[in-house]
A and B are shown apart, each in its own frame.
Chain A
């Protein structure tokens, strides 16, 4: 769910083939709100774009928010519970390569967005139905369908942003979309448990039916997103008519044969990425019960501390983005982020210190890593391979998440949280090792990964001269 956003800035800047929003041929002056070229109208579009992703981000983490309830009502162990996350990731191992192609060549951005939104809605409804009829396999299938829509919808969201805001307020728009995604996750984490207890009170008992209805109500956010998709399609079509604006394109070109040309630093970046993210997202998926059991937190407090990573990430991502842009030295920043995450996981594993400290650190380092790691790909890959490199990075990240989710569930059931945390520590440690290796390789090869921002400017100038 997360990785798509990180690429958007680059894809937008590099390969985004958005149509130019020309102003020629405007028939007559429209009121600001109805005028596609006017800021007020674009703000309405921006609002719709932000809400477009809200549903899928809200529903992505419903299993984490309702972990105790899902496991109890469906009578599944943690291994099976984590399959709900694995099934989300499986389709995206392939779809990361296909999403852009489907939007550009097959559906077009408008229909693509509507179709992916439908997948998200239907997926969530199947997920909820599975709970109502007490069939866990149906819930898994629901998450699979949801996964087909979710990640591609994020790509579509980016494409819309580029198409409407390129050359204007694009970075701000990306920032706002990212914050909205985080808000969706946070609201979900803190609301679903409460919603469950309300529905439990009105139905009179807890059970799989209660769980199903709760998930169904959560699915309303997906319907909201679908409505946004329809509205956006209409407005985009209208803008095309009025401004003769082309449909947005992702401009991604995926050539799988490029993979054999990937350099060693790029592979190291992939390893850093996979090893890092598998120690963050599956942990958040399992975090709530950990905070309840180990630190004696109430369910509400556990949800709050579990969502703090997302809360911190919302405001910090743009700030860290600016910081990394201004200073350069990406490898050093990545090193800091990974080392901080390692520290945070070790704190969670080996101390009884309040998890607020560790989770805040995790939130900060996670935001920093996203800002420093993803842009590095652009430094080591020629521009025409950028789409393939990002697609591949997301694909193996999803593969890693799917596999590690299952393994994490199994470890937890058999050996408990301490072992799980030690396992995550080992993953982050591998990531750290790769960062150090990357630093050395870059140093030995005199690579450009760790240039300061000023040096980058100088290099750019000397190239243009």
Chain B
């Protein structure tokens, strides 16, 4: 077994120092002749589960009486720590930090964080242990009129309605939704000013879940995760759309220290066993692997019962650099990165003008994985591999056996003739 087949669950911190690990996916660029071989090679190891981490969820509250709080996910490995800091101060945002020591800690200076100039209010100590850091900000909820399809080229999703700014949402107290057993917590919010009453019975929720080992969630799209990643599930429930065929979208801002935007990749796969009829995984990479990554399947769901009938396509626009001042301010991002960061934004849109949509049940959910380190490598399930192995191996055996039988018989036959 060669080294590249090992499951790349080595933590970000150690991997940062190592050489760039080759990426083992399969797709149009992967040599197809090597395909089965590499699958057979990676699959059994993928099942072993890889590295586990000691994961803890902690709500860091400000001063007593203040509603603001941070959700700190700390994932400790043998020689690294990953920090995910989620916050609903301003727009929902997460800061991702990877360190190369199991002892790094998060330091929050609330008075600075809540001040107009929050630089330095959020730090990971010791500071020289930080190997990688980046952030994501969810700035706006977009809505389009899917019925008005006059100019498909210019506005493929229809005329946009004024977006909802997520900085002007009020969010619940994260402590109430914290579930230490499943390592999850939910930010649920609605606009502070809602003159039309669109969110009277509705809400937008960001459910964050961490994992202590690798695995696969029970619900589609069932992306494989490792202990290095956490899952974000965005759900829009019960809000009244402004049109009969409204399509929704999400504006996402990436923050990084490199001058260029993260690169987006569409990885095609032959395997849709875990998400029927979805043969693609979209990825956003902050730099050459291993670094920070986002990973999602281009599918959203219009019903709680996530099945093929309720699956919506999910499109992502190309990333474009954005100026910081044009975006809603996120105090934790400012606090951690000060002014040495680079912003890029892209839009995710869910659904198409035809087919199932939010209008069916006023429900929309989409999920993605965000993590640091190497991308989780998916493999074919043992059942499929088993069937293929039998289907490939048995005819060979049969032909061999049949050939032997015929050979023996032929011999007997010729002996019989010779007696005659």
**CB within 8 Å of B: which residues of A?**
71-72, 75-78, 206, 289, 293-294, 342, 349-353, 412-419, 422-423, 425-426, 429, 432-433, 436, 439-440, 443-444
Q: Are B278 and A293 in contact (CB under 8 A)?
A: yes
Contacts of B277 in A (CB 8 A): 289, 293, 412, 416-417
- The 10 closest A-B CB pairs, nearest first, are A416-B276, A416-B272, A429-B391, A293-B277, A351-B32, A294-B279, A352-B28, A416-B273, A77-B309, A422-B387
Q: Are A425 and B391 in contact (CB under 8 A)?
A: yes
Known contacts A294-B279, A426-B387, A433-B394, A353 near B405 by CB under 8 Å: no
Smallest CB separation, B217 vs chain A (Å): 16
9-residue interface stretch from B189-197, B283-291, B395-403: B395-403
Q: Are B395 and A293 in contact (CB under 8 A)?
A: no
Q: Are B395 and A433 in contact (CB under 8 A)?
A: yes
Smallest CB separation, A66 vs chain B (Å): 13
**CB within 8 Å of A: which residues of B?**
27-28, 32, 35-36, 268, 270-279, 307-309, 354-356, 380, 383-384, 387-388, 390-391, 394-395, 398-399, 402, 405-406, 409
Q: Are B409 and A444 in contact (CB under 8 A)?
A: yes
| Seed contacts A418-B380, A419-B384, A425-B387; 19 additional CB < 8 Å A-B pairs | A72-B354, A77-B308, A350-B36, A351-B270, A412-B277, A416-B274, A417-B272, A417-B276, A417-B279, A418-B270, A418-B271, A418-B272, A418-B273, A419-B273, A419-B383, A426-B387, A433-B398, A439-B402, A440-B406
Complex CA–CA separation, A56 to B420 (angstroms): 61
Complex CA–CA separation, A353 to B409 (angstroms): 43
Known contacts A206-B354, A417-B276, A422 near B384 by CB under 8 Å: yes
A78: nearest residue on chain B (CB-CB)? B308
Complex CA–CA separation, A418 to B277 (angstroms): 9
- Contact partner of B395 (CB less than 8 A), chosen from A353, A436, A444, is A436
Smallest CB separation, B149 vs chain A (Å): 12
Known contacts A78-B308, A293-B277, A415-B276, A426 near B409 by CB under 8 Å: no
Contacts of B276 in A (CB 8 A): 412-417
Complex CA–CA separation, A440 to B402 (angstroms): 7
- Give the tally of cross-chain contacts (CB within 8 A): 94
Q: Are A351 and B273 in contact (CB under 8 A)?
A: no
Contacts of B356 in A (CB 8 A): 72
A to B CB contacts below 8 Å, 18 in the list: A72-B355, A75-B309, A350-B32, A350-B388, A352-B28, A352-B268, A412-B277, A413-B276, A414-B276, A416-B273, A416-B274, A416-B276, A422-B384, A422-B387, A426-B390, A433-B394, A436-B399, A436-B402
Smallest CB separation, B417 vs chain A (Å): 14
Q: Are B309 and A71 in contact (CB under 8 A)?
A: yes
A440: nearest residue on chain B (CB-CB)? B402
Complex CA–CA separation, A79 to B36 (angstroms): 30
Contacts of B35 in A (CB 8 A): 350-351
Instruction: Kindly name the residue among B27, B272, B383, B394 whose own CB sees the greatest number of chain A CB atoms within 10 A.
Output: B272
Contacts of B387 in A (CB 8 A): 422-423, 425-426
B409: nearest residue on chain A (CB-CB)? A444
Complex CA–CA separation, A414 to B383 (angstroms): 14
Known contacts A289-B277, A415-B273, A416-B276, A443 near B384 by CB under 8 Å: no
Contacts of B27 in A (CB 8 A): 352
Smallest CB separation, B104 vs chain A (Å): 41
Contacts of B32 in A (CB 8 A): 350-353
Contacts of B380 in A (CB 8 A): 418
Complex CA–CA separation, A426 to B389 (angstroms): 11
Instruction: Kindly name the residue among A75, A353, A416, A425 whose own CB sees the greatest number of chain B CB atoms within 10 A.
Output: A416
Known contacts A352-B28, A429-B395, A436-B398, A413 near B354 by CB under 8 Å: no
Smallest CB separation, A247 vs chain B (Å): 49
Complex CA–CA separation, A293 to B299 (angstroms): 12
Contacts of B278 in A (CB 8 A): 293, 416
Instruction: Kindly name the residue among A342, A415, A422, A426 whose own CB sees the greatest number of chain B CB atoms within 10 A.
Output: A422
A345: nearest residue on chain B (CB-CB)? B391
Contacts of A433 in B (CB 8 A): 394-395, 398
Complex CA–CA separation, A78 to B272 (angstroms): 15
Contacts of A78 in B (CB 8 A): 308
Contacts of A415 in B (CB 8 A): 273, 276
Contacts of B384 in A (CB 8 A): 418-419, 422
Smallest CB separation, A329 vs chain B (Å): 16
Complex CA–CA separation, A419 to B32 (angstroms): 19
A432: nearest residue on chain B (CB-CB)? B395
A413: nearest residue on chain B (CB-CB)? B308
B386: nearest residue on chain A (CB-CB)? A422
B27: nearest residue on chain A (CB-CB)? A352
Contacts of B308 in A (CB 8 A): 77-78, 412-413
Complex CA–CA separation, A432 to B393 (angstroms): 13
Contacts of A414 in B (CB 8 A): 276
B313: nearest residue on chain A (CB-CB)? A293
Complex CA–CA separation, A423 to B395 (angstroms): 16
Contacts of B268 in A (CB 8 A): 352
B309: nearest residue on chain A (CB-CB)? A77
Complex CA–CA separation, A279 to B275 (angstroms): 22
A421: nearest residue on chain B (CB-CB)? B270
B220: nearest residue on chain A (CB-CB)? A416
Instruction: Kindly name the residue among A206, A342, A352 whose own CB sees the greatest number of chain B CB atoms within 10 A.
Output: A352
Complex CA–CA separation, A415 to B399 (angstroms): 32
Q: Are A352 and B273 in contact (CB under 8 A)?
A: no
Smallest CB separation, B314 vs chain A (Å): 14
Smallest CB separation, A228 vs chain B (Å): 37
Complex CA–CA separation, A71 to B309 (angstroms): 8
